[in-house]
A and B are shown apart, each in its own frame.
Chain A
Amino acid sequence: MPEIFGIPLQAFTGQLMLGIVNGSFYAVLALGLAVIFGLLKIVNFAHGAFFMVGAFGALMLERYLGIGYWPALLIIPVLTGCIGILVEITLLRRLYGLDPIYGLLLTFGVALLLEGSFRVGFGSSGQPYSTPPILRGSTDLSFMVLPNYRMWVVAASLIACLATWLVIEKTKLGSYLRAATERPDLTQAFGIKVPLIITLTYGAGVALAAVAGVLAAPILHVSSSMGSNLVIIVFAIVVIGGLGSIFGSVVAGLALGLIEGLTKVYYSEASATVIFLCMALVLLLRPAGLFGREER
């Protein structure tokens, strides 16, 4: 069997494929975080919790209302986005203008609250959520057997990222958003309702987390801690990509997924740390992140 640096080709390419799958999750989550941070200047610690809420939402729709995966993929992000909007209006709004640490603490509290309530309601062991019938089974790619569902995850994540990018870069709403990010005071002076844009942006960021949650439900068992495991990694990715940089977060998400996969091939013990090693390196060499801009 052909080898690459002493590793069987099969294992090498297999891990790379998995890196791309994981990277797409990272990308969608990091994208939401970046959008929120860009406009609200809030480090949304509740992002992982909303990811978890998304997965549980899909589970509850199926269990209690008999609504399957595909409708859930639309319904749940909208509903979770509404929860996010509610959180913004009732809680986050009071903290604008204060030290960012308050926003971090508040969202961390929200995360603990959400995780705690789902743990009480559903216990801590993972709940199975079945893969939609059309995506069941796997495809033999000769170098590995890849479950069809994971291919769909990669495609869906890329679509979500692309759609978000198009909205922000190519639509009128997006131009308002970009303007409000740069100069909120001036944008407001032009008669654009900046507070409304802020609310909607938080809702949209949360909805993105929920999309990732629904996508993850059939892969990971749905459990109250599924978000907190992921959110730390995603934070590191946002920092690497450059805080607030939308393009940077997506690229860094995919790249870090790949690096993680590669590390698993060569020295799997380090795979949990490699992302943070990258973060430390990037912070040393480019403190603003790979695609971030220095604050003026």
Chain B
Amino acid sequence: MFAGKLKQVFVIAAVGFFCASTMAALAQTSAQPGAISGDVVRIGVLTDMSGVYTDLAGKGSVEAVKMAVEDFGGKVLGKPIEVIFADHQNKADIGANKAREWFDTGGVDMINDLNNSGVALAVAAIAKEKKRHIIVNGSSNVGITNQMCSPYAVHYAYDAYSLAQGTGQTTVEQGGDTWFFLTVDFAFGLGLEQQVSDIVRAAKGRVVGAARHPLGTTDYSSYILQAQASKAKIVGIASTGSDATNAIKAAKEFGLTKNQRLAALLLWINDVHALGLSTAEGLLLTNAWYWDMSDESRAFSKRYFDRVGSMPNMSQAGDYSSTLHYLRAVQAAGTDDPDAVSAKIRELPISDMFTKKGYIRVDGRMIHDMYLWEIKSPAESKYPWDYLKLVKTIPGEQAFMPLDKSTCYLVKKP
């Protein structure tokens, strides 16, 4: 009796496994050219929904992607487009697991945003393995288009190299030849410090030291004292969000700005808003996009503001623009097959409210102009969120790492 029951269980299990494996095989075959896998194009927004970077990405990034889907018409090749999101909590392992789950069983075709360099690098490895698309907007580490590059990874809004070309290069040109870094201690901060140090050394300048602090530090006073003791002319802040704003506040309080200059290497419009113009006035920032730069950007930002309650930053604008670009590529390819879409992504030019003349290189790097801005004084600011004035435009070819320096295996070297 008992043996009979056991046998029954085994048979059911065997049939179940068989069905599951054929289904999986079917699911894979359905991704052939000319079709949309699972009859839906699913876009996952993997971002920080609750941690220190949530105001830079989070809910705003999800809304930006949703706006792109709505503006595209909600359907591609007659099939619906779905947007889902998850919180990676700024932890690489959580992000990687979520991406794996989404690609394996969630039917996700493309993951967007990926703020936090640690998470983005981990997810880039998964994308390469699973042959599914990711578009990185929120993080800066250049590894995404170098060691971790693949036909399925696009690095869209900005990166550490372009930040260094903006604020870093300009500060060096203005005579800042000795540097001390206040660096947030993970892939993002270290990568940014590295890129800027290269520029400083190339200009025969010196990096005299660095203080590394954990993500989410609130009291910077002791790091500021180290920076003061270093006697460097420039104190480079290789962190962002509340880390950077807290460091800037502390630097002003402790009189660092009397003898030394601050170079905030990645500031967002949200950071300027949090700092207030009276504290942030005069700082330089390198951004790919500013809400108040054209009629199109203003129109987008107004719609975004009504939904989110703050102005979009360059990464959120990149989320919107890159989602549209992905959907156009799917349309042009006539399928959501990752290889066919990858070819179209790199073939189609980009011209929208984010950039007028953008294109994506073989290594996945999106090339577009970057801008160096200066933060206005309170007197110069005429209306809410009127924070930046343009200092100079950095042409795309100059702003991003040239292909001959790339270590991406897809780049053919002569």
Contact = CB atoms under 8 A, between A and B. Distances in A.
B216 A229 contact: yes
Interface stretch (A101-109, A121-129, A247-255, A280-288): A121-129
A283 B60 CA distance: 48
B254 A268 contact: no
Contacts of B216: 225, 229
B253 A138 contact: yes
Interface in B231-254: 241-242, 245-246, 249, 253-254
The residue in A125, A138, A221 that gathers the most chain B C-beta atoms within 10 A of its C-beta is A125
A219 B219 contact: yes
B214 A268 contact: no
Contacts of A18: 221-222, 225
Contacts of B212: 269
Interface string A1-18: 000000010110011001
B411 interface: no
B67 to A, nearest CB: 20
B54 interface: yes
Given A14-B225, A264-B222, A125 B253 contact: no
Nearest to B212: A269
Contacts of B219: 22, 219-220
Nearest to B219: A220
B225 A125 contact: no
Interface in B37-96: 50-52, 54-56
The residue in B51, B55, B225 that gathers the most chain A C-beta atoms within 10 A of its C-beta is B225
A269 to B, nearest CB: 8
B242 A126 contact: yes
B8 interface: no
Interface in A112-138: 119, 123-128, 138
A221 B242 contact: yes
B253 to A, nearest CB: 4
Interface string B244-271: 0110010001110010000000000010
The residue in B55, B56, B218, B275 that gathers the most chain A C-beta atoms within 10 A of its C-beta is B218
B311 to A, nearest CB: 14
A145 interface: yes
A61 interface: no
B211 interface: yes
A261 interface: yes
Contacts of B203: none
Contacts of A195: none
Given A125-B242, A126-B274, A145-B255, A15 B218 contact: no
A80 interface: no
A226 interface: yes
A55 to B, nearest CB: 11
A126 B55 CA distance: 10
Contact of B275 (A128, A140, A149, A264): A128
A128 B274 contact: yes
Contacts of B276: 128
B218 A221 contact: yes
A226 B50 CA distance: 14
A144 interface: yes
A145 B274 contact: no
Nearest to A136: B253
B222 A125 contact: no
Contacts of A272: 214
Interface in B206-221: 211-212, 214, 216, 218-219, 221
A124 B274 contact: no
Contact of B229 (A11, A119, A225): A11
Interface in A52-111: none
Interface in B257-294: 258, 270, 274-276
A220 B218 contact: yes
A80 to B, nearest CB: 20
Interface size class of B (residues with CB under 8 A): 20 to 34
A15 B50 contact: no
Contacts, number: 86
Contacts of B226: 11, 264, 268
Which secondary structure dominates chain A's binding surface? mixed
A57 B312 CA distance: 29
Contacts of B225: 11, 14-15, 18, 144
A238 B281 CA distance: 42
Nearest to A126: B242
Nearest to A149: B253
Interface in A13-32: 14-15, 18, 21-22
A219 B56 CA distance: 22
A159 to B, nearest CB: 22
B211 A124 contact: no
Nearest to A116: B50
A15 B241 CA distance: 25
Nearest to B254: A145
A128 B275 CA distance: 7
Nearest to B279: A128
Contacts of A269: 212
Nearest to A261: B222
A123 B54 contact: yes
Contact of B218 (A126, A128, A144, A271): A126
B245 A126 contact: yes
The residue in A123, A124, A128 that gathers the most chain B C-beta atoms within 10 A of its C-beta is A124
Contacts of B50: 119, 124
B222 A221 contact: no
A21 B253 CA distance: 14
B222 A229 contact: no
Nearest to A25: B219
A125 B221 contact: no
A18 B51 CA distance: 27
Contacts of A271: 222
Contact of B255 (A119, A140, A261, A264): A140
A206 B214 CA distance: 28
Interface in A121-173: 123-128, 138, 140, 144-147, 149-150
19 contacts: A10-B228, A14-B225, A14-B228, A15-B222, A18-B221, A18-B222, A123-B55, A124-B55, A125-B241, A125-B242, A125-B270, A128-B275, A144-B225, A145-B254, A221-B218, A223-B218, A223-B242, A261-B222, A269-B212
List the 9 closest A-B pairs by CB distance, nearest first: A145-B255, A11-B229, A220-B218, A125-B55, A147-B253, A14-B225, A126-B242, A125-B242, A264-B222
